[in-house]
Amino acid sequence: NCTKAICIEDNIIQVVPIICNPPPKPTCANGLSPVQVIDEDGCCWHWECDCYCTGWGDPHYMTFDGLYYSYQGNCTYVLVEEIYKKVDNFGVYIDNYHCDTRDVVSCPRTLIVRHETQEVRIATVKPNTLQVKVTVNKQAVALPYKKFGLSIYESGINRVVEIPELKMNVTYNGLSFSIRMPYRLFGNNTHGQCGTCNNNTADDCMLPNGNIAENCETMADHWQVVDPSKPQCSPGLIPTKAPSTTPMQPCKESSICKLLLGSLFEPCHGFVRPEKYYAACVFDSCVVPNLDLECSSLQVYAATCADQSVCIDWRSHTNGVCSYKCPSDKEYRACGPIKEITCKSSQQNETSTKQMEGCFCPNGTMLYDSGVDVCVKTCGEFYCFTRMHFGEKFTVDCQDCICLEGGNGIVCEPHECAKQNKTSCDGEGFYEVNEVNSEDSCCPIVTCKCNTSLCTTKVPKCTVGFEVHSHIPSGQCCPVYQCVPKRVCVHQNAEFLPNSSVFVDKCQNCFCTNEVNVSTQLNIISCEHIPCNTYCEPGYEHQPVKGECCGRCVQTKCVIHTANNSDLILSPGEFKSDPYNNCTIYSCVNIHNQLLSSTSEITCPAFNEENCKPVSKYEKLTLYSMHGLLHPTLCSVRQRKDFIFYKSCRSVDRVVMTECEGKCGTFSLYSADANSMEHSCSCCRESRTTVREVELKCPTGHSISHKYIYVESCSCQDHEC
């Protein structure tokens, strides 16, 4: 109870009241008066500068700390969000649009307030008017509205969104908005187009990344939010340039703007300086002179003055330009109560000194209820005197009521709904929805709706050549997916339409057919090999070659041209005599995969006439060298000339070679002493040899040196018989 207990001694306690010393009154950067805030102990108080941001016209902004700027973007923007998130899903946003035919300036269209599970939208019904409609989570609601810690109500010309837990309120009337937030809850923790609430204008132009822009026009464009209805808008675009305030012709300021600096608003000048509002008014009257937007500058200034408890009746001084018409059963007041007294609230004490302009019930009448916009002279008159008789029952606001005399004239109980068959929304994707009952609007009907986003089955990823087909079976919500063939051919993870060519390899012409492979469900690829000439000359065979389609003729046998112009075909390792000359032999060898042919001629021993005996007595002797006609000669050296072959290489010319040939003694005699046959054998063999060297020419073109044995002398040498 704002007292302090002090223990003296011996259980003696002194209780003294806490003394509060009034703190010095600070100066707020936004030019508004500071507010008294109770300390945490609930006893003393201190001054704070509330966060107060306004916007109006086309549009002009005054940040929390009082920095003025104009911005002409036509997207949806963040007015205020927390830097460090303390409140779930909290923020205030503005949807601007181009409000003149030249798309030069923009005006506010919708104010959006998000708090936890609710999103409030206050939208302008008709451009540049004070007609608005309110929706919560995209559903139209009647005012006053109060649910989940958020309330919405009418206050004069404004619609007010109030969040008591955060001690903040947001107002909007179609032409202007205001946001009031307590410094103790939001100080140093706001950013957006309304700036940072810290009583310092130096950082009001803060970008989302924490940097400070050179001006707030640049900063404002960076606070775009994704809006599906405005695909041309996205964060990070080039800042929207403000239109020039210098018109093509000299601009004469509107006389309405001068009212801000004159005696009419002078009582407020000491509380709120008018210069920035005057500059905005001149801007609007020069740039868009036909929209009467200058009225919004006076309206916002008057509302700010009323917030400081200074009420000014200004509309009657505008010669009808800024007049405001009320319904026939109400009258306009520049200084009416923030919350109008109703039959149900008449007993409550209204202590607020702040006032608000708007349409109010005439003197002598009272608003029946904040939810029933009818002025009555006596409470209960609205229903009981004009529609019902006393004692008659009726239903209103989903309550069963009866008209009684005295008091408010109405006694109500909650409306009872008839029992309904319980609807069970079983099945994946279904959820319950309350729909309006045409027979009883107070008793909604529970129906089942399908929301495919609640389905858990994921769309399968089909292999190449297949695609996803889906269908929703009767009585179900979630689709059933399956991969079905696309009636195409597939080769190397690529799809080919029927009758289109398919490249398999360069040796085949392939195309996609309309025939389907039963096992793979894919169309069949038909291929034909490229036509090839497989004829080869004799001695050659057609063999495939890697990297080539048709192969080529490869020599597998030797082709030898004989002396009589005929051809012989020999396989490697084969020997064959000339069909017309048995003394000529042809051969074919394969050396390192190269076929080489050779020709060999059989040479006869050198002919010596001395070895022949005469067979005729004629002077001219006929000599025969046939066997049996030669005189046997003794063992001696015989010479002959022939080619030397070695490893497919051959001597260039015939070489003189020697050999031993002739008769040696050989006999078999009977020996009486030994009583057996005695044998004596001798052979004509070389007795002395030398090694000679000759040059051989090889098929590859190179030459080699070859050594061979040359017989110098021969003799008869004994040999075992």
127-131, 354-358, 410-414, 701-705: which is most confident: 701-705
Contact (Cβ atoms closer than 8 angstroms) between residue 224 and residue 74: no
pLDDT of residue 620: 43
Helices (H), 288-357: 294-307
Question: Residue range 618-640: average pLDDT?
Answer: 58
Checking if the pLDDT of 666 tops 90, the result is no
Q: Which of 176-185, 370-379, 383-392, 414-423 has the lowest mean pLDDT?
A: 383-392
Checking if the pLDDT of 327 tops 90, the result is no
- Reported as a single tens digit per residue, the pLDDT across 447-471 is 888 888 888 888 999 999 999 999 9
Question: Residue range 605-612: average pLDDT?
Answer: 60
Residue with the larger pLDDT of the pair 126 and 103: 126
Checking if the pLDDT of 4 tops 60, the result is yes
Structure-token pair, residue 493: 């993870």
Question: Residue 471 and residue 70: Cα distance in Å, rounded?
Answer: 53
C-alpha radius of gyration, the chain, whole number: 60
Of all residues in the chain, the percent with pLDDT exceeding 70 is: 87
Checking if the pLDDT of 624 tops 50, the result is no
At 442, the amino acid letter reads C
Question: Residue range 714-719: average pLDDT?
Answer: 86
Mean pLDDT over the full length of the chain: 82
Question: Residue range 119-141: average pLDDT?
Answer: 84
- Reported as a single tens digit per residue, the pLDDT across 369-383 is 776 677 777 775 555
Distance set, CA 532 to CA 33, 521, 564 (Å): 101, 34, 36
**Paired strand residues for 342:** 367
pLDDT of residue 398: 74
pLDDT of residue 496: 94
Question: Residue 587 and residue 518: Cα distance in Å, rounded?
Answer: 60
Distance set, CA 651 to CA 166, 273, 482, 578, 595 (Å): 118, 126, 84, 22, 20
The domain 610-718 is placed in CATH, from the list 2.60.40.10, 1.20.930.40, 2.10.90.10, 3.40.640.10, at 2.10.90.10
CATH architecture of 48-221: 3-Layer(aba) Sandwich (3.40)
Contact (Cβ atoms closer than 8 angstroms) between residue 50 and residue 180: yes
Question: Residue 167 and residue 9: Cα distance in Å, rounded?
Answer: 45
- Reported as a single tens digit per residue, the pLDDT across 391-415 is 677 776 677 777 664 444 566 778 8
- Reported as a single tens digit per residue, the pLDDT across 526-535 is 999 888 888 8
- 6 burial type by CB count under 10 A (0-12 exposed, 13-18 middle, 19+ buried): exposed
Strands 158-163 and 676-680: unpaired
66-70, 254-258, 366-370, 664-668: which is most confident: 66-70
Structure-token pair, residue 658: 């020697």
Checking if the pLDDT of 247 tops 70, the result is no
Peptide bond between residue 24 and the one before it cis (omega within 30 degrees of 0): no
Question: Residue range 30-46: average pLDDT?
Answer: 87
At 84, the amino acid letter reads Y
Contact (Cβ atoms closer than 8 angstroms) between residue 60 and residue 70: yes
- 520 burial type by CB count under 10 A (0-12 exposed, 13-18 middle, 19+ buried): exposed
Going from N- to C-terminal start, the domains of the chain cover: 48-221, 245-324, 540-601, 610-718
Residue with the larger pLDDT of the pair 181 and 447: 181
Q: For 560, list phi and psi in degrees, rounded to 5.
A: -115, 125
Q: Note whether 48-221 and 610-718 share their fold.
A: no
Question: Residue 77 and residue 54: Cα distance in Å, rounded?
Answer: 14
Place of tokens 């979630």: 478
**What is the b/e burial string over 348-384, where b = at least 16 CB atoms within 10 angstroms of the residue's CB?**
eeeeeeebbbbbbbeeebbbbbbebeebbeebbbbbb
